[in-house]
Structure 1
């Protein structure tokens, strides 16, 4: 190598002939001897770096899969993906880590480390904020943030604003608030500024954790209040994310905060993985902002690197499930013992040193008392110790920089390693010059100061009725009142019981391309057609192929599914939709009544919006479901292969009990941030199976039907309403009525949904059905008569639910609902 001989940097000739096996082995052995081992007390110990010996489980799994060289290109955490091989192992490991970080739902993938994960996060944050209208995107972080943030900002050409680090060494919520105020003040009217806030859970040189929950609260409040800023919150948890859940699970640095959008982990540090292995996690709906189609490979790439090692996924899986929480908890409990032993060693060698074990983390920060606080070069080199100047409040109250070294207590360290370091440190400091300029601080008081500072239903909507009955009938021939029937299962694959392995929900084909448009004819069977029509794929055998329906094209339609469709239906065996005679408008819903196969009432659905995108209220006998921003569509995957997708911004699920129990929120699952724009549905190439269902937020509540008190839930909830776009959502219960208030964030619009808790019981009495579980035994006349009986009461439900001054009242004849009154402060 010429550069080692004469100082130049020149290339080497590519070898023409191979080395022999012995020669190869000799060179490799010589180089291996130059790489420090982990377990010999005499070997150099890397106390200043977060690195450790990989676990044997991971090494064995990596070697076992490496020979087959699997490529885990792409992302595998979505429904229908990651179903086999190393992609399944990656999916299971990534989603388990997301669960460890309290994510209700998440996407993610393995990276080469937190540097790559941070680049991915800032790229997605930038693109999402630009999609929300931000012309300028700023990255806001602490001056102590890992250099990967500055590197990512430079690569992405983003403005970087580093907040000076104070003596707490944390990015404080008040600092973030002040910086956001300044950015908002400098944003020109009519423009928007995007801000990517980066918090840290385990700073590299201190181990401390930012008050992520307080910062997230600041961001949530600003998002709910509107204004010229858009926000994205990324957490760099490379040095704490694999430790804190097992040592300090109460530290809320993760997805339990609604306004944490992404997190990176580094399992190749404390997670006992070999290099290079990181994990990027984000809320649902965000990966699309980094999606690049790869048509030559036939997939969509949402990662930074593209091709990735499947063997590494197998190694991570082996630790997540081979060690599990018990194994990691024990490993890090031992690390904390080593951390405390290191702290004792420093205090013994330098009683006047400032020694700060990081709460819950495996880091010791030490400020030595001798002049300048520097360690002798030989000691620093042997133990790979790095010093950093950090702001420090001296005993006289002034804040000035002071040199601190950090020591990592990693799983490979033993008592012998610590004892050897203690001896070497004592010897080194005894030879160091004395005098610290008055900076020495009692360890106990400063440690206390540091501790305190750290501290859907598958059917969706009816055809909008127009004044032209002929046009409506043409629509019926192609679809029906139910969007699912735009596409049908091909012949020979219609009975799921005959296809237990090959049959799946996604084997749809377009009805018209199969030549199976619905046959429609006027109804004359009872001598009173009155503009009614019946339809089915085959009216000679009306109940044996998908469905049979009857419609008055300007008022209603009733469909009864055949046996196979009843097995697959998520919303019952028969559906009755009222959409006229007054046409659907933003204030007037379509109302759909659903029935079980035995004729029992299932639910009534009120849909405000267009055929595909609407706000919806569903009333069951035992529950009420409110959906904001529900969007349903069929998606052609390839050729004649279709899927069906349901996307809902917010779903409030209210379970009703037969008593007077007070209302209680039992679960809030935040899958995505409604304030950030995203595709309502995946890219076509990303669909795998039916149904593909997505929710930004799911809220679950319980309340007794007999409850007469008042309760209001003011936790900030946001949703992308079909009527109001981004809206604040506040549920409450008063006088036996569920009220859901929606108020536009960036406009004057507001809507109140008022649903009596007893409505479902009344609807069960009001809407009797007929048994349809054996549809081939039915006659068309029975279904026609049933439709005629249902129209008056369901039409009355629709009229009562028409929006009046922003109030949507859901009631029924014979139901007393004194709590349903308009609020004059709310207008639309």
Structure 2
């Protein structure tokens, strides 16, 4: 005790000596500056984003303040924007644009004629299975079913539960059926949403608010693999949540659990695993992630949006998987999309929680509005009752046997394609696909050249970055007779041609995509992306329609 007092006395003597010849205003100023500097350093050290990342962003921001550099960037962006708009103009040049309401309404026959013309604009024959994902099933019987159901329910709205209680019953039944699919218990709850992205947004909102109310976390972050769906990043932008990205194992393409453990801190409100992930179709070690959640008392979300209507049926189809659902202690929520392998129309998704205490934080409540007390379970207020009814009808139409049969066909086809692709010299497969996605890379040539070559003969695949790759998401469309063999044949021929001159650089639109990966200033990539989105809304404003 005496030693402690001596130590403290020594410190105070040194401080007093330091300020002995200072004026009172100097003492106050030095104290204030020292305190603010200490706080600033503490905030920099404890900032969620790394110092190097912030420094890099600040550097590029300062560089762009140089007028000559900014003018050059603006000129290049303008060229890209004009190019994208030109593509849309050329694609639709033969069609009339409606830019004002017609004086007289169009007849049903006229409207249907226009719809047929608009639907013919696409370059890819998706009904023949030449696209990756996008459309997961299509046949006349299913189309007639959902059309009839939607026709009956098109103007219903679950927001008005007293007017459309039957729609609310359908939604509740869809949620319960999905809870059983994922081995939930009587306490498992959930909601329907309009798509996988909204489901992810809702989970992030729920856990942000749960962390704030229960654990007093006001600077929340989520910890997730770099391969986790971009919908989580969108949620983070909306809700001011920081994302701690975790690198994946370069061989397995699964999240590195040790690095995930190190990324967790006192402000972490949510851990994420994919079953499977979108880029490579591999499944993270959900049991290990759930164990981290239990250890740190953090909720764990399993994103099964892509494979959610495959993985519950894979064991019955002869393809068992490691545990991934509510059977795993520590898993507190799951998202799944019926509008993918559940074969319901867009947009339908489900977000499930192990307990209503989590779902309650997903809700938004307004109690003092002059219009009355308002509560909403998801982002939307009014929702399309027709989508809920079509989802409900489709799930009951297929049943367990129907989904098991579909799962077997999809996974059989995926394994078949994967087996033959692995035999093609010049390409390789990322990791081991868990469900229906096969990602392809190359160490011999720019893999985007393969994407371009396949595109030229009618195939539309998904492009990947960091590293470059492409993938095919196998759907029921690819299980049609001869489609898998045609894809293998076309890839084989394209790779053989590319291997004749593997060093040749990529050209055309894929060159732009490849160059985008090399840009250190990612804000430039964001600007290019804005141009692309802008082009989707192109209309020739000068044209006026007065029919």
Match for residue 394 of structure 2 among 314, 319, 333: 319
Structure 1 residues 54 and 126, CA gap change in structure 2 (3 angstroms) = farther
1:148 match: 231
Give, in whole Å, the separation in 2 of the partners of 1:337 and 1:410.
11
Note the alpha carbon deviations across 1:381-406, whole angstroms, 9 max, x for none: 6321233245xxxxxxxxxx4x3322
Note the alpha carbon deviations across 1:286-321, whole angstroms, 9 max, x for none: 222233346646662121112222222222222322
In the TM superposition, what is the alpha-carbon distance from 1:65 to its structure 2 partner? 4.2
1:60 match: 145
In the TM superposition, what is the alpha-carbon distance from 1:83 to its structure 2 partner? 10
In the TM superposition, what is the alpha-carbon distance from 1:82 to its structure 2 partner? 12
Structure 1, unmatched stretches of 5+, are 185-192, 224-230, 391-400, 438-828
Structure 1 residues 4 and 160, CA gap change in structure 2 (3 angstroms) = same
- 8 Å CA contact retained: 1:216, 1:259: yes
Give, in whole Å, the separation in 2 of the partners of 1:340 and 1:250.
15
2:487 match: 421
Give, in whole Å, the separation in 2 of the partners of 1:435 and 1:171.
35
Structure 1 residues 377 and 304, CA gap change in structure 2 (3 angstroms) = same
1:279 match: 350
Match for residue 23 of structure 1 among 103, 110, 115: 110
Match for residue 175 of structure 1 among 251, 259, 265: 259
2:173 match: 92
- 8 Å CA contact retained: 1:369, 1:436: no
Give, in whole Å, the separation in 2 of the partners of 1:426 and 1:21.
47
Give, in whole Å, the separation in 2 of the partners of 1:126 and 1:150.
14
Structure 1 runs (4+) greater than 6 angstroms displaced: 5-8
Give, in whole Å, the separation in 2 of the partners of 1:312 and 1:362.
25
Match for residue 339 of structure 2 among 255, 268, 281: 268
Query: Does residue 467 of structure 2 align to residue 408 of structure 1?
Result: no
Match for residue 158 of structure 1 among 217, 221, 241: 241
In the TM superposition, what is the alpha-carbon distance from 1:39 to its structure 2 partner? 4.3
In the TM superposition, what is the alpha-carbon distance from 1:33 to its structure 2 partner? 2.7
Give, in whole Å, the separation in 1 of the partners of 2:384 and 2:425.
49
Note the alpha carbon deviations across 1:252-288, whole angstroms, 9 max, x for none: 2222223222211111112111111111112322222
Note the alpha carbon deviations across 1:11-60, whole angstroms, 9 max, x for none: 922222223444323222222333555544xxx6103x353124644752
1:235 match: 302
SS in 2 for 1:136: coil
Matches within 5 A, 1:94-113: 94-104=175-185, 105-113=187-195
Note the alpha carbon deviations across 1:700-722, whole angstroms, 9 max, x for none: xxxxxxxxxxxxxxxxxxxxxxx
Structure 1 residues 434 and 164, CA gap change in structure 2 (3 angstroms) = farther
SS in 2 for 1:323: helix
2:463 match: 387
- 8 Å CA contact retained: 2:223, 2:246: yes
Give, in whole Å, the separation in 2 of the partners of 1:58 and 1:96.
22
Give, in whole Å, the separation in 2 of the partners of 1:131 and 1:174.
29
**C-alpha RMSD of the superposition:** 3.2
In the TM superposition, what is the alpha-carbon distance from 1:125 to its structure 2 partner? 0.4
In the TM superposition, what is the alpha-carbon distance from 1:412 to its structure 2 partner? 1.8
- 8 Å CA contact retained: 1:236, 1:265: yes
Give, in whole Å, the separation in 1 of the partners of 2:150 and 2:91.
43
- 8 Å CA contact retained: 2:149, 2:390: no
Structure with the largest fraction of strand = 1
Equivalent pairs, count: 398
In the TM superposition, what is the alpha-carbon distance from 1:165 to its structure 2 partner? 2.5
SS in 1 for 2:482: helix
SS in 1 for 2:476: coil
Higher-Rg structure is: 1
With the length of structure 1 as denominator, give the TM-score of the two structures: 0.45
SS in 2 for 1:135: coil
Give, in whole Å, the separation in 1 of the partners of 2:392 and 2:415.
31
2:377 match: 302
Range that drifts further, 200-209 or 240-249: 240-249
Matches within 5 A, 1:540-555: none
- 8 Å CA contact retained: 2:127, 2:138: no
In the TM superposition, what is the alpha-carbon distance from 1:242 to its structure 2 partner? 1.3
2:272 match: 198
